[in-house]
Amino acid sequence: MDAVAPADPPPASGEPGPETEPARPSRTRAVLAWSVGAAAVVAIGVGAGFVHVSANESYDAAASALRAAAAASAETQELLDRTVLTLESSLTSADQLVTAAADDLVDPATRTALADAAAAASDSVAESSELLEEELDQGSADKPFWTWQLRTQTALLEERTSDAAEQTEQLADSKADLESADELMDETALALFASATPAAAAMEAAHVSARTAAVLDFRDAAAAVAEQDQVDADSAVALSVYATRAASLKESAQAELAEKAGRLYATRLEIEAFARSISGGVLLDFDWAPVVNGMGGSSGIGGLATWNSGRGGFSTITLSDSVAEWWPNADSRALVAHEVGHAISAKCHDKFDWENQAANEEWATAWAISMGHTALGNGVEAYGYPSQAMIDIAATCR
């Protein structure tokens, strides 16, 4: 039997065992741990950078929106300010129109309507003026650095943008209100301007004795008012001139009537009315004298006439007092018709040789005959009987 060597006996208690090397950490694990840590740091940095960039972009967008909103507010405020100034000017003109528009110059109802529209426009101007006193956001902002400040300021910028937009809307609404008020004033003014035409015709008819110059000036002024289309300085001036010319018309008529006063007053006015009724729209002035063209008193009746084709045609007829004393006999009526024949040449002078004195008298006599006045006062006694051709031509002038 083979001998077996016994194994080394275990060390006795308390004796040191054989020495062993301590275990080393794995190099791979160390590298991995470092990489993970570095990646985490990088990720955190990238994330923080992204958040900061995003905050910057949001802030910039909000700042840009605020600047745009502030610019819109400023522009709208400027437009409102201009509208206020324009309407204030119109209100001044409206006040002048209402003041000048007497009852006999326009329809009083149209004046009341304009006054009401102007009062409403004045209220709108007052409201807009208060709005214009409010301060506007200028759109300026100082950009912070830190992310949390950017976020906070972005929210504030957005709030300011919203407020600016609301203010712009208020300004725009106020401007629209002013424009509506202005339009209403123009509409009511148009009715007032149009009413001047019938009012002027009535006034002229009531002052028919006014001199032709006063009548023509009054007509021109009334026509100028009727041509107006808005409340402005021009329309205010036009109505003021119309009122002034109306006063002149009245004064002229009163002066003329005063000159005709006396025992023949009513007859003179009757004769003048007869002459106007056959004058074809040619305006007539009348003068009276004891002797005209060498005739008057017991020696007979006399008359003269001058005419002018300008401004629609007008004429001055001068009659002897004896024409009124003889009225309404056939000779006096025929003589008046003869003088109106001269007057109506103002619109029919192209029908005869108006530069020839004899032709003028033939025309006037023929015209009186064509109107049915065959008494000797028609001019036949003084100038002879006109040709039938002239009578026929004169009959075409009315």
The reported pTM is 0.80
- Give a yes or no: residue 232 inside a domain: no
Measure Cα distances from 346 to 63, 223, 277, 313, 355 in Å. Answer: 79, 22, 16, 5, 12
Q: Are residues 268 and 353 in the same domain?
A: yes
Cα–Cα distance for residue pair 368/374, rounded to 1 Å: 8
Structure tokens, 317: 């007829």
Number of domains in the chain: 2
Q: Is residue 354 situated within a structural domain?
A: yes
Average pLDDT per block of 10 residues along the chain, 398 residues long: 40 44 50 47 51 83 92 95 97 98 98 98 96 90 84 90 93 97 98 99 98 98 98 98 99 98 97 98 98 93 97 97 97 99 97 96 99 97 96 98
For the record, the structure tokens of 204 come out as 């002229």
Same domain, 178 and 70: yes
- Kindly state whether residue 91 falls inside one of the protein's structural domains: yes
- Where is the domain boundary, 177, 193, 209? 193
> Where does a domain end: 193, 213, 238?
193
- Confidence (pLDDT) at 212: 98
CA dist 265 and 255 (Å) reads 13
Cα torsion for 270, 271, 277, 281, to the nearest 10°?
-120
Beta carbons within 10 angstroms of residue 178's beta carbon = 22
pLDDT at residue 345, as a whole number? 98
Question: Do both 272 and 362 map to the same domain?
Answer: yes
Task: Give residue 13's pLDDT.
Answer: 41
Query: Is residue 323 a contact partner of residue 300, using CB atoms and an 8 Å limit?
Result: no
**Strand residues in the chain grouped as ranges (E):** 283-289, 303-308, 314-320
For 382, the domain range is 263-394
The pLDDT, as a whole number, for residue 17 is 44
Q: Which tokens is 184 given?
A: 């209403």
Question: pLDDT tens-digit profile of 1-60?
Answer: 333 344 444 444 444 444 445 445 555 554 444 444 544 444 454 555 557 688 888 998
